[in-house]
């Protein structure tokens, strides 16, 4: 297990400096709630950590390796999984959506089917297997996206507002899944405003304000 560290990370949009982070260390096996006002840069930070967006400057460290953000290391791309607030699903089937990353990684059919079955059971998606993905509710789509992430056994998992805009039942189902998703071998960062997520056992809080990360603290503090 490796710690992902960010040093002197800067990101601006026009004249506005959005992120100015001197040091941020995400310790292997820990779970973090990334909080902050709307527009504070939470999503941008997650996208940078996932290699979807590049900072203006900065260095990263993962384990014993140091890297520049441009280009983002291929080795890290396999370790880090990002789940969008409104995840895109292919108009094929629930099972095919879960299988997407496994196929991209060249996992053989036999092992792939076993892993898909495990992910479906984990996310309790059995009754949705015959439902076209475009007809799923927001909460159901989120559960499929979480299963698609879970099946890849990420070392770093980045979740952007996973309970936003969900009804009460879907929100609770998502929170229940997240409690099992934050595995001991996985570093998890959840950008959110959800008090129940922030208060999950073992969750440390990272508060983004003025482009900087405040000293991490537990949710109970």
The structural domains of the chain, ordered by start, are 4-88+153-218 (3.40.50.300)
pLDDT higher at 217 or 150? 150
* Least confident among 8-22, 33-47, 59-73, 171-185: 171-185
Instruction: Give 180's pLDDT tier (boundaries 50, 70, 90).
Output: confident
The pLDDT score that the predictor gives to residue 218 is 42
Whole-number mean pLDDT of the chain? 91
Rounded Cα–Cα distance for residues 62 and 71 (Å): 15
Asked whether residue 220 carries a pLDDT value surpassing 80, the answer given is no
Asked whether residue 39 carries a pLDDT value surpassing 80, the answer given is yes
DSSP 59-115: EEEETTEEEESSSPPHHHHTTEEEE-SS----SS-HHHHHHHHHHHTT--HHHHHHH
The pLDDT score that the predictor gives to residue 33 is 95
The pLDDT score that the predictor gives to residue 182 is 62
């Amino acid at each position: 297990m490796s710690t992902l560290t960010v040093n002197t990370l800067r990101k601006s949009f026009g004249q506005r400096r959005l992120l100015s982070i001197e040091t941020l260390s995400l310790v292997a096996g820990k779970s973090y709630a990334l909080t902050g006002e709307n527009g504070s840069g939470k999503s941008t930070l997650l996208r940078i950590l996932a290699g979807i967006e590049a900072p203006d400057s900065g260095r990263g460290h993962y384990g014993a390796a140091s890297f520049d953000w441009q280009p983002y290391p291929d080795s890290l791309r396999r370790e880090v999984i990002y789940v969008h607030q409104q995840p895109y699903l292919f108009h094929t089937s629930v099972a095919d959506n879960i299988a997407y990353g496994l196929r991209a990684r060249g996992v053989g059919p036999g092992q792939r089917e076993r892993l898909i079955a495990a992910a479906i059971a984990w996310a309790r998606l059995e009754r949705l297997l015959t439902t076209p993905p475009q007809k799923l509710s927001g909460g159901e789509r989120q559960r499929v996206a979480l299963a698609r992430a879970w099946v890849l056994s990420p070392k770093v998992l980045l979740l952007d507002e996973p309970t936003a805009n969900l009804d009460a039942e879907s929100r609770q189902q998502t929170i229940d899944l997240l409690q099992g998703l934050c595995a001991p071998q996985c570093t998890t960062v959840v950008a959110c405003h959800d008090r129940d997520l922030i208060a999950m056992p073992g969750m440390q809080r990272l508060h983004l304000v003025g482009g900087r990360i405040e000293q991490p603290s537990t949710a109970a503090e």
